[in-house]
Structure 1
Amino acid sequence: MVSLHWNGVAHSRLRLFHFALCQRLVCGGLLCLFAWMASPAWAQPDFERPPIDYLHAEVNDPVAKLAKRVEAGEVALRSDPTFGYLPSVLEALNVPLSSQTLVFSKTSLQLHRISPRRPRALYFNDDVYVGYCQHGDVLEFASTDAKQGAIFYTLAQSEEKEPEFVRDRGGCLSCHASSRTQNVPGFLIRSVFADAAGRPKLGSGTFTTDHTSPFDERWGGWYVTGSHGSMRHMGNVICTDEAHLLDRESGANQKDLGDYFRTDAYLTPNSDIVALMVLEHQTQMHNAITAANFETRQALHQSYQMNELLEREPDFISESATRRIESSADRVLKYLLMCDEFTLTDSVAGTSTFASEFAAVGPTDSKQRSLRDFDLETRLFRYPCSYLIYSDSFAALPEEVRTLVLEKLKRILHGEDRSEAYQHLTSEMRRDILEILEATHPDFQ
């Protein structure tokens, strides 16, 4: 999102217009759940033009693949009397029920379906996010394409016609392509001060959260189950006064949400704190990878165009393009190695099987170590290097930036780069991460 400033009247009118617009847009994915507040774009974004061509290039994300299989008759989605297509879709996309998190702030496409008594459920795996509202008109999807970033879809919760995934054609980008998503079509987790109806009190401010966020800024407008000791967050409570203060104590260390709403109206009774922490990291890690992908492709495209105008060699890469690519690589490394991660001051434990299921999926070395192993005492992961280094998105990075990221990463892990940004990595951590990658990642073998 490009920050713009207007006079007070124009700004107020624009915000009202944008609020009304975002209630009507078919904004399928994650995470209009998380935000509808963004500055509108007057001009066509760069990623809607070549070489990205976001709205028209073919995509091959998990939902697109499933849609093709459904259309071909290879997969039959079943409608459940209570949850519609949700259980069948989660099974088809291999999304675990234990990933369920619940958000009660009205910050989504189907905001009229959302309240503290009827929170919205979100389910996710490494590449796809599924949103569900009680009695909702549609299921909402945000799916990660290896080249094109976040792609948004809806699936009507109706048995009157054959199930069909409908791709959003730009409406979601009013929220999901901004500075909060690293200026690419992406994902975000928002923490807000929500009132008794679930309406966010925007005058109190909002937070875009990831693994660097202070604990006390996280999960406003969300339900949170699990223990976290003396640390306090914004979850499980509503904002009831004009001072916009939260009773953080009453929402702390909750393991049962039954006093807030009917938990039997959902597939599980949990909104697991560990799942929420993984979600925060994963969304911005995906955005960093997509941003590096787009920036590299755009930089090379513009450099090659200039080569033709200046009669240079066709494959010459300008100094400007090289700087852009290196900057993108550094941003990927920052997220990959969990730089500036918030230090936990107490231990964290969830209420579901999410942590064990998540950890079990990852590749392990001969010592049974994995980048998906949790710490949850002082930080999120035991080995602070993101598991998304194994993702299709990382593998699909343009060679110019991918090679650079890997070269820099190897220098860091071998102890050759002792820059201040990576001082959180002890010699033991660097060794362990390197040994795990050498045993499990093809680029380190």
Structure 2
Amino acid sequence: MDNERMTFRVSLAAAVCLFAFVCLTVPVSGQRSGAFMGSSDDTAIKYSAAPSSNAIIDVNQKLQNGELKFTFDEKSGYLASALAALDLPVDSQLLVFSRTSLQGRRIGEQNPRALFFNDRVAMGWVRGGDLLEVAATDASQGIVFYSLEQKPDAGTGPLQFKREFVCLGCHMTGNTLNVPGLLMFSTTRAEPTQYSGIPRHIDQLDPLTKRFGGWFVTGSAGSAQHMGNQGRIC
């Protein structure tokens, strides 16, 4: 079962990233100036081999030593424990319903992905999802990705966040200057026959009219228009 789940996750990640790559070819080409052209395992960072130093490493060590214990909740899994351990404020929550995620099949307007963040960590949670998805800022390696399975500890050893490299399929592209990094997409409204809308990488240079597609947005922007709160066409 675990092998089947991993195969599905890898296949889904590949499909999502291929879709994003095709859609983002034009925007990416304009951002390649200054991109790193070496391998992620260049001696400058040794991404997969060098020792890591980040908030997840600290939490894993405490879980290993028994200094910290996560409590599993039937509705939210390890969410509350992870938020507390990583010092992620509940009121940092953002909600996104576009399916640009490993758990895209579970995400939609009625079941958005919640993102929580601070200066060191960003974490994604989906109701009914298989994983907590985490991106941590590392002292030497930049952004490092982890996951935590959302199932009760089976007693096979201390609970641990696991390092994930499949995330690099989307998180190491021209839009991140070819080094592991974070992205923000604005996604077009999905047609009835589409699995997802078309994602477009955005940053501070984009006008408000092109931002927040696939996101729930609260508050007022006055007379300014944005792409938030536009769900699937039915």
Q: TM-score, normalised by structure 1?
A: 0.44
Runs of 4+ in structure 1 deviating by more than 6 angstroms, as ranges, are none
| Residues 36 and 107, structure 1, Cα contact 8 Å, conserved in 2 | no
Which among 142, 149, 171 is matched to residue 149 of structure 1?
142
1:45 Cα offset (Å):
4.7
Q: Relative to structure 1, is the Cα distance of residues 172 and 84 closer, same or farther in structure 2, using a 3 angstrom cutoff?
A: same
Which among 183, 186, 195 is matched to residue 181 of structure 2?
186
1:130-156 deviation per Cα after TM superposition (whole angstroms, max 9, x unaligned):
100111111110001021011001101
Alpha-carbon distance in 2 for matches of 1:96, 1:156: 21
- Which residue identity does 2:135 align to in structure 1? A
Structure 2 counterpart SS, 1:223: coil
Is 1:132 the equivalent of 2:125? yes
| Residues 131 and 148, structure 2, Cα contact 8 Å, conserved in 1 | yes
Alpha-carbon distance in 2 for matches of 1:153, 1:36: 23
1:65 Cα offset (Å):
1.2
Which among 161, 166, 171 is matched to residue 162 of structure 2?
166
Alpha-carbon distance in 2 for matches of 1:239, 1:89: 31
Alpha-carbon distance in 2 for matches of 1:23, 1:97: 29
Is 1:55 the equivalent of 2:48? yes
Structure 2 counterpart SS, 1:48: coil
| Residues 99 and 124, structure 1, Cα contact 8 Å, conserved in 2 | yes
1:47 Cα offset (Å):
2.4
1:158 Cα offset (Å):
0.7
Q: Which runs of 5+ in 2 are unaligned?
A: 1-8, 23-36
How many residues are matched? 208
Which among 62, 74, 99 is matched to residue 67 of structure 2?
74
| Residues 224 and 236, structure 1, Cα contact 8 Å, conserved in 2 | yes
- Which residue identity does 2:107 align to in structure 1? I
Partner in structure 2 of residue 89 of structure 1? 82
Larger helix percent: 1
Structure 2 counterpart SS, 1:37: helix
Is 1:234 the equivalent of 2:217? no
| Residues 136 and 157, structure 1, Cα contact 8 Å, conserved in 2 | yes
Structure 2 counterpart SS, 1:191: strand
1:53 Cα offset (Å):
1.0
1:185 Cα offset (Å):
0.2
- CA-based RMSD of the aligned residues comes to 2.6
1:199 Cα offset (Å):
3.3
Q: TM-score, normalised by structure 2?
A: 0.80
Partner in structure 2 of residue 38 of structure 1? 21
1:38 Cα offset (Å):
3.1
Partner in structure 2 of residue 217 of structure 1? 210
Partner in structure 1 of residue 172 of structure 2? 177
Structure 2 counterpart SS, 1:70: helix
Which among 186, 196, 200 is matched to residue 196 of structure 2?
200
- Which residue identity does 2:163 align to in structure 1? R
Structure of higher RCO (CA pairs closer than 8 Å, 6+ residues apart)? 2
